[in-house]
Amino acid sequence: MATKIFTTTLISLIIIISSSHQLLALNHTPKFFRKFPFPSSAKSSQSQPQLDIHYETKFFQQRLNHFSFFKTPMFPQRYLINTENWVVGSGPIFLYCGNEGDIVWFAQNTGFIWEIAPKFGAMVVFPEHRYYGESVPFGSKEEAYKNASTLGYLNAQQALFDFAVLVTDLKRNYSANACPVVLFGGSYGGMLAAWMRLKYPHIAIGALASSAPILQFEDIVPPETFYDIVSNGFKRESSSCFNYIKQSWDVIESKGQTSDGLELLTKTFRFCQKLKSTEDLRDWLESAYSYLAMVNYPYPSEFLMPLPGHPIKEVCRRIDKGPAGTSILERIFEGVNVNYNYKGPAGTSILERIYEGVNVYYNYTGEAKCFELDDDPHGLSGWNFQACTEMVMPMSSSRKSSMFPPYEYNYSSFQEDCLKNFGVKPRPKQITTVFGGHNIHLALRKFGSNIIFSNGLLDPWSGGSVLQNISESIVSLVTEEGAHHIDLRASTENDPDWLVEQRATEVKLIQGWISDYYQNYKVVFDM
């Protein structure tokens, strides 16, 4: 009993001291999606099919610039199509709005559409977003990504027009002019689905926009929202885990400033090449924590990496447990000591704890021998350009409630980085000017219909989405335990009841849209 009281007292002391310590500020500005950093031996496991689906792969010639009448080059847009269950000439068309990556990857991880298509007699189409996967202009990715003059056609407006042109062509070629189109999308794809429904209501009758942060622009939501939600995901599992992570940033910076610090950090975190700066390590860790919050699913998954169910719980279990072979009281003493002696053995101990935890994300299977910082197996790097042009999402980290180093959003610094990297100035008001965002409830209540905004509150992007019903046909489905577009994933035997019920609600709403469409179409046809 005495030992238990002593242990509890020391843990409380760690938390109290940790909360009062001033952290070092990060200098970088976070973007919506960075390149996913994968371990060097994990590429093969990521390419394995996760869902038994069938489709034809086809290509459609798209104009590079839809908004100019001057002769413009064409490029091949890849799309996946399945008509096995389609009721020819009358069944609906389910179209997934392609995200910032390889479309096959998204098709493999969007089982919900494939599962409900037979019920609706639907055609399934997965068009790829321009500049991603195999839908690359100018003949090669090297040429397309050469500079701002070639990348300048990579934006949401051009992508939505691609989808609209493709749907129009498919309807004509398949004699499907009477077939209603329902849009689906998750994350950025969910944003595109919602925006396409608003911009092209004559083409699509409704949209399921899952985890779509359409309000994460300008000053519509507080900039600290994203990282506060990430931090809360760890804090709710373990306050000591939260505080170990919060303390680790100063330890990393302190170690990095010593003569052999970068070499020590490289060895501690098992990188394949020596770190060039502590900022690279901070980005690597920050990415892992953010993605863990996004995919904090209640069952094992392989969407981003092979992960256990409730992965944050496992990360915190390992961080709290510490490296193997260390006694409980020794670990607690080292946790307290880190507040007084950053350059001593305690610093190494807390970093080993962090490695044990983050290893859940980067190497849960144990296959990786070392880690690369610049792997991009799903081809997501184009997002960095989009984030520097129209997808400007202000973010900051609060001193009190975030486990990340505190910093304020600095647009001037962000603009300098974009000029340096791409030679472009961001346009932070572009998205809200084109698609709206301010007073969204009033605008959509008057001018919108048939959109489902689904969000799980564990997902850090939920803070930038629509979390309240707007009208009878623009509804918000919010789940306490849901993570990043979990409703679009394939069903499993481990699905909790709330997820089964959420999907059933979505199916019912979609059925209503389609039924209304057929009734109205019949009336018009009879007239």
The pLDDT of residue 136 is 97
CA distance linking residue 280 with residue 277, whole number of Å = 6
- At 350-391, the pLDDT tens digits run 999 999 999 999 999 999 999 988 755 555 678 999 999 999
Three-state SS for 526?
helix
CA distance linking residue 494 with residue 293, whole number of Å = 19
The pLDDT of residue 377 is 53
Please identify every residue annotated as catalytic: 187, 459, 484
- At 279-309, the pLDDT tens digits run 999 999 999 999 999 999 999 999 889 999 9
Length of the chain measured in residues: 527
Residues 362 and 305: beta-carbon distance below 8 Å:
yes
**Residue 12: pLDDT above 90?**
no
Mean pLDDT of 315-330: 73
* All domains of the chain in start order, with CATH: 56-218+429-526 (3.40.50.1820), 223-326+349-411 (1.20.120.980)
* Angle, in degrees to the nearest 10, between helices 239-256 and 345-363: 110
The pLDDT of residue 376 is 54
Residue 256 tokens read as 């990095």
Both ends of the chain: CA-CA distance in Å?
84
Residues 234 and 507: beta-carbon distance below 8 Å:
no
The strand ranges marked E within 154-222 are 181-186, 206-210
- At 208-235, the pLDDT tens digits run 999 999 999 999 999 999 999 999 999 9
**Residue 27: pLDDT above 80?**
no
Mean pLDDT of 29-51: 38
CA distance linking residue 176 with residue 196, whole number of Å = 20
